[in-house]
Amino acid sequence: MGLSHNNPRKFIFILLIISQILCMINNSKSDEITEQKPANFVFGDSLVDVGNNNYIITLSKANYVPNGIDFGRPTGRYTNGRTIIDILGQQLGLGGYTPPYLAPTTRGSVILRGVNYASGAGGILNKTGYAFGGRLNLDAQLDNFANTKQDMIYSIGEAATKELLSKALFSVSMGSNDFINNYLTPIMSKFEQQVVSPEAFVDAMISKYRLQLTRLYNMGARKIVVVNVGPIGCIPYERDLNPLAGNDCVDFPNQLAQSFNLELKSLVTELGTNLEGSQFVYADSYRIVIDILTNYQTYGFENANSACCYASGRFGGLIPCGPTSKICSDRSKYVFWDPYHPSDATNIIVAKRLIDGDSNDISPINIRQLINP
């Protein structure tokens, strides 16, 4: 009261100083967000799950030995070491491993650096992976991202959140399970394939995916890498289920993947053209993995068709990797870790080609160009 009556100019001066200090604090927070490396948001299936399935009731889990043997411990990653996303984050300096959404520690300021929503057995279609019980399909993963966005807005405000998301890297790796654990599931496949043609099934996947990727854009994503389906007919699981293929990859699953990928590439181009300000990138993992399998010795591998972690089957593809499984003597010499998933050594090659590859591997630009315009 004394200040306002005796020296109003001094009172106003103090108010101005306080106002400037508050502005400096807010600007500092915004500058910190702006200057840091892009956040890394990940959507997908077991190829990129880093532990979300540890926290749900499901038959699809990898938080037990010998998974993670080269990571230091089992974490829920479906490989002997790192996922492709882990390696991307390390190579690009994106602040270490992106944490799983369901981990209790993925809260507070941690989410500003990115979150991994991927889930083993998850798919584009909601019925995909039903045999495993719990799993987070892409719709559920997008719901979880919506929750993260609200938490970010509460923490740093709407404008700063919009800015952060516009610069962040988003990657979506979906579709394999829609074939392996849906259309091609041994119990259901004969019935499913009689009722629904391959073309109709692929069309249903693409229609659903269009809505999901558009929803991701509408929630603020702008730099979006969409990874296609790899050569699923070459995994040890499909090889052992189809012994008539001999030593070759199984044709029908690969034909499904190629049909989907052709439609997916058109979809990515369509979205990139129609959604203002977006940068959609098509990552051709099918081509990269086929190249590795064809020229495996050139890449330093000794085995391109069998699982390193194996229990049953000519290719070790009939039983998931677990505590009773045997493991190969040198994991770095195997393209596949288990019946379904690549080894750390393979993930390194794929990641590097997505980061710095030419337009044959990833188009229209690679990931390094995407995050460093």
Is 338 a known active-site residue? yes
- Gap between the Cα atoms of 300 and 203, Å rounded: 38
Work out whether the CA dihedral 119, 47, 42, 209 comes out positive or negative: negative
- Are 112 and 155 contacting, i.e. CB atoms less than 8 angstroms apart? yes
Is 5 a known active-site residue? no
| CB-based burial label for 278 (10 Å; 0-12, 13-18, 19+) | middle
- Are 315 and 307 contacting, i.e. CB atoms less than 8 angstroms apart? yes
How many residues are listed for the chain in this entry? Answer: 373
- Which of 49, 240, 338, 344 is labelled catalytic? 338
Question: Across-strand partners of 279?
Answer: 223
| CB-based burial label for 194 (10 Å; 0-12, 13-18, 19+) | exposed
> What dihedral angle (degrees, nearest 10) is formed by the CA atoms of 271, 273, 278, 281?
70
> Coil, helix or strand for 144?
helix
- Which of 240, 341, 344, 361 is labelled catalytic? 341
CB neighbourhood size of 212 (10 A): 18
- Which residues are within 8 A (CB) of 6 and not within 5 positions of it... i.e. 6 or more apart? none
Residue 68 host element (H or E): none
Q: How far from 80 is each of 66, 138, 326, 327, 335, CA to CA, in Å?
A: 7, 25, 13, 10, 11
Active site residues per annotation: 46, 338, 341
